[in-house]
Structure 1
Amino acid sequence: MKIGTGLPNQIRDVRPDAVPAWARASEEAGFSSLGSLGRIAYPGVMDTVALAAAAGATREIGLISTLLLAPVWPPVLLAKEVAGIDAVSGGRLTLGLGLGGRADDFVVDGLGPRGTGKRLDQDIETYRRVWRGEVPPGCENPAVPGGTREVPMLFGGMAQASFDRVARVGRGYIGPAAAPERVGTLFDRARTVWQTAGREGAPCLVALAYYVLGDEDRGRANVHDYYRPAGPGGARAKAAEVNGGAHAVRATVKAYEELGVDELILIPTVDDLDEVARLADAVL
């Protein structure tokens, strides 16, 4: 199992220059990938910006959005953004997509929080047409340079439609940031729909987990703040799931290895750059 680390792009009032520094340190430490969290109505750094910054600051480490809120974007615009990030990185991007569950993230007129699943299914086809170089409606030119590749897509979510997307057009599935015992059945569902669809090989399975190795109280407080829209109980539950300390992180790594996932992205809860070295010492 590969081990990656998230970027601290959605920690409240993150220092934006911490993002490229974090990316460089993570690559030097030997992590497999850099993940990003997607949210608009929060005082962090946009995930597309964070991924572009990471692409420019590194040379080899993988890039993965975990998860980008696809329906908040006009699809042609997002397809072009994603293609650009992937190209400047040298083809290192994997696009993890989700629907989004917070109404205030939907800030574009005409793209509200209703009907997001149907919209995503339509948008996926738009992305693929754009990446193939087809001219978008109303445009005179293709939106991307010739030679643009189809960026591999992973899907998150627990509804059956999410797994159907994995089976139909996905490279795999991203589980929610939760305790391993709560998400094992979701990975099993991804494997089942893949096999039922007659896809060759196996789906790429990516797990997510929050961690803090320094200031545990601050890390949990940051996660609680991020999940406030889930209500007091939901926010407390997410804060309690943060893996605090090296022992807890190692136990989570072992549990996900036993579930047979391909990669675990450990998401930081503070923007202290020393967390990268602490995590590498604990798990690499």
Structure 2
Amino acid sequence: MARQLDQVAHFARYAEQLGAESLWVGDRVLAAVNPTVGYGGSDTIPWQMNALLDPFVALSVAATATERVRLGTSTLVAPWYPPLLLARSLAGVDVVSEGRLIAGLGTGWSPDEFQGVGVPWAERGARLDECLDVLETVWAKDPVEPHRGKHFSFPAAHIGPKPVQRPRPPVFLSAFTRVSQRRAARRGDGILPAVSTYPGSAFDPAAMVARPLEQVRRSAENEGRDPAALSAILRINPAAESSVDAVVDVILRTRDTTDVDHVFVDLVYLVDQGVEQALDMLQRTLEMAR
């Protein structure tokens, strides 16, 4: 929670006790006062994004506070990171959690954040592709063969630790555009669709979940991959005024009308009421969705 950043262990521990199957973190470095691109089609950025923990700090704390839940990123903005450092950080989370990491990667949406980390906005797709190359190589081999890419290079080297999950942790990719869908079809284990719930909103599971996954699976088959091996994990973004009933409706309709069975709820807009209120909503959601 943005106002209770020291409560990650408490939230993670009790979420697991309540029956949660996974815990997720996002990735933000700044929220521009006058953004070049606002969030979700608006011209502003919600105040809840003003302060977020480093995702690797949050995941490491959650890993040590829990024993069972999967630990995911939705999404890490991979182009911000030198791939070797990203490989090390993700492998470290997988090691300390004893193999519970789900690596969700994307290209981000804020040009201001790319400016802040010194990475050209126009290079985001190419950098993500090179990052995926490096992760695949670094996680699978020892010694690691030399890499000479457009943006990064390193010599043949011993690079560890390796992830517990072999040959690598599952990698899910954002897939909101045709380019990103093709990337996911070629290289991912699945995609990360997202929907928002707020009073008066309409949720169409076919349009928002089933069809994007179907498109990626068709592309994967064209690439010679097994389409059935690709899945989706749905993120639900409830607005501050959303009800538990609305969130549960999305969960149940996704379960009943698609083959997606992994869903998580982003509680960022509940931070003004604190961790205990977020845990209460989680408990009621789990009880109603069972």
* TM class, shorter-length: 0.7 to 0.9
Task: Give CA-to-partner distance per residue, 1:35-64, whole Å, 9 cap, x none.
Answer: 111111141112222111111111111111
Aligned to 2:183: 165
Aligned to 1:278: 284
The one of the two structures with greater contact order (alpha-carbon pairs below 8 A, sep at least 6) is: 1
1:247 deviates by 1.8
Instruction: Output the CA distance in 2 between the equivalents of 1:86 and 1:62.
Output: 10
1:102 deviates by 0.6
Aligned to 1:66: 74
Aligned to 1:143: 159
Could you say what secondary structure the match of 1:281 adopts?
helix
Instruction: Output the CA distance in 1 between the equivalents of 2:25 and 2:218.
Output: 27
| Aligned 8 A contact 1:166 1:172 in 2 | yes
TM-score by length of 1: 0.78
Instruction: Output the CA distance in 1 between the equivalents of 2:171 and 2:163.
Output: 18
TM-score by length of 2: 0.76
1:3-22 aligned within 5 A: 8=1, 13-22=2-11
Aligned to 2:247: 249
Change (3 A) 1:139 1:195: closer
Instruction: Output the CA distance in 1 between the equivalents of 2:55 and 2:162.
Output: 25
Aligned residue identity for 1:45: L
| Aligned 8 A contact 1:75 1:126 in 2 | yes
Instruction: Output the CA distance in 2 between the equivalents of 1:246 and 1:126.
Output: 41
Aligned residue identity for 1:187: L
Change (3 A) 1:20 1:177: farther
Instruction: Output the CA distance in 2 between the equivalents of 1:20 and 1:191.
Output: 37
Could you say what the CA RMSD is over the residues aligned between the two structures, in angstroms? 2.2
| Aligned 8 A contact 2:83 2:135 in 1 | yes
Instruction: Output the CA distance in 1 between the equivalents of 2:136 and 2:208.
Output: 30
1:214-229 aligned within 5 A: 219-220=240-241
Task: Give CA-to-partner distance per residue, 1:104-150, whole Å, 9 cap, x none.
Answer: 322333x2222211111111101122212316655685331257542
Count the aligned residue pairs.
Answer: 243
| Aligned 8 A contact 2:244 2:281 in 1 | no
Aligned residue identity for 1:48: F
Aligned to 2:113: 105
Aligned to 2:43: none
Q: Structure 2 stretches of 5 or more lacking a match?
A: 31-49, 147-152, 197-201
